[in-house]
């Protein structure tokens, strides 16, 4: 799954804290990344979403923590904890003018009906954030995974265009640290993007040639990339839409058994 947002006008971080504290009773304003990470126990999702150099401000309410970053870095906001209090914070931020139409947020999993009369949304979809800190088991007939180079760009572009044209992880994307792939008979038949940031590894855009699906290439690619990223990071994560049952089953088999259920919304 890809988690990127379309660029939007920068929301800044937030209005003055005193204004929001008066609007969100019992909230605690968290002034920076370190405070936010401390409030969520350095949860892997927060470690991934909060890049080390991003300005960020967070809010804590009844067990929920929601943080905002400038929109040019991805979704405007993310949250961990009970969905109800997280949505209460969203409503207050919307009422203050901090959250505006078009802004996207990754929030604790909730039913869309919970938004009725509170937040108008143009998009709402559910997905799971998976992570592991252990190498995956060897896969049957596992194929070697290699790090791709600039010379592979034409083949990489052709494979992505053919097999996964809707992905937001594409060659030339500045968020991609490296590309990995599998070759067969001199042909690039599978690829995946290393979208790691901070101390957490993150896999995105896993793609297999349509005529070779069902032969274990996806498992080989995910396993090989997980091992490669664990050599540089203490944890590796990825995202899966809830309707992609087969992929979720595969990732659990590879050890991605830690799961955070999320819903992404885009404000109307």
Distance from the Cα of residue 210 to its chain's centroid: 25
Structural domain total, the chain: 2
- 124 plus 138 within the same structural domain: no
**pLDDT of amino acid 27:** 59
Domain boundary among 129, 149, 167: 129
**pLDDT of amino acid 143:** 96
- 118 plus 149 within the same structural domain: no
CATH number at residue 176: 3.40.630.30
- 85 plus 51 within the same structural domain: yes
Gyration radius (Cα) of the chain, Å: 19
- 191 plus 178 within the same structural domain: yes
- Inside any domain, residue 214: yes
Percentages of the chain per state (helix, strand, coil), in multiples of 5: 30, 30, 40
**pLDDT of amino acid 6:** 30
**pLDDT of amino acid 16:** 45
Stretches where the chain sits below pLDDT 70 are 1-27, 72-74
**pLDDT of amino acid 10:** 37
State the pTM of this model. Answer: 0.88
**DSSP string of 172-196, one letter each residue:** T-TT--EEEEEEETTEEEEEEEE--
Domain range for 216 is 134-233
**pLDDT of amino acid 21:** 45
Express each pLDDT in 26-54 by its tens digit: 458 999 999 999 999 999 999 999 987 77
**pLDDT of amino acid 1:** 57
Are 65 and 81 in contact by the 8 Å Cβ rule? The answer is yes
Task: Give the length of the chain.
Answer: 268
Sign of the CA dihedral running 146, 152, 153, 155: negative
**pLDDT of amino acid 9:** 31
**pLDDT of amino acid 240:** 95
- 35 plus 111 within the same structural domain: yes
**pLDDT of amino acid 5:** 33
- Inside any domain, residue 266: no
Express each pLDDT in 156-200 by its tens digit: 999 999 999 999 899 999 889 999 999 999 999 999 999 998 789
Choose among 190, 206, 179: nearest CA to 143. 190
Compute the C-alpha angle 62/259/170, nearest 5°: 110
- 171 plus 124 within the same structural domain: no
């Amino acid at each position: 799954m890809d988690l990127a947002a379309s660029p939007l006008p920068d929301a800044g971080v937030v209005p003055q804290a005193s204004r929001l504290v008066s609007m969100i009773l019992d909230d605690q304003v968290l002034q920076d990344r370190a405070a936010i990470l401390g409030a969520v126990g350095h949860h892997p999702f927060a470690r991934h979403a909060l890049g080390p150099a991003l300005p960020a401000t967070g809010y804590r309410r009844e067990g929920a923590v929601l943080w905002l970053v400038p929109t040019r870095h991805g979704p405007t906001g993310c949250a961990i904890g009970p969905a109800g209090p997280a949505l209460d914070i969203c409503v207050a931020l919307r009422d203050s003018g901090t959250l505006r139409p078009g802004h996207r947020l990754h929030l604790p999993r909730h039913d869309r009906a919970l938004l009725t009369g509170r937040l108008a949304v143009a998009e709402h979809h559910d997905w799971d954030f998976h992570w592991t800190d252990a190498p995956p088991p060897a896969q049957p007939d596992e194929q070697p995974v290699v790090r791709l180079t600039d010379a592979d760009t034409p083949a990489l572009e052709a494979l992505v265009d053919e097999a996964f044209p809707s992905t937001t992880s594409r060659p030339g994307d500045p968020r991609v640290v490296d590309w990995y792939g599998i070759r067969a008979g001199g042909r690039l038949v599978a690829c995946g993007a290393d979208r790691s940031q901070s101390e957490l590894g993150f896999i995105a855009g896993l793609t297999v040639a349509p005529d070779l699906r069902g032969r274990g290439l996806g498992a080989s690619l995910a396993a090989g990339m997980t091992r490669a990223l664990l050599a540089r990071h203490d944890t590796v994560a990825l995202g899966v839409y809830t309707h992609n049952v087969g992929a979720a089953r595969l990732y659990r088999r590879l050890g991605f058994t830690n799961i955070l259920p999320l819903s992404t919304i885009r404000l109307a």
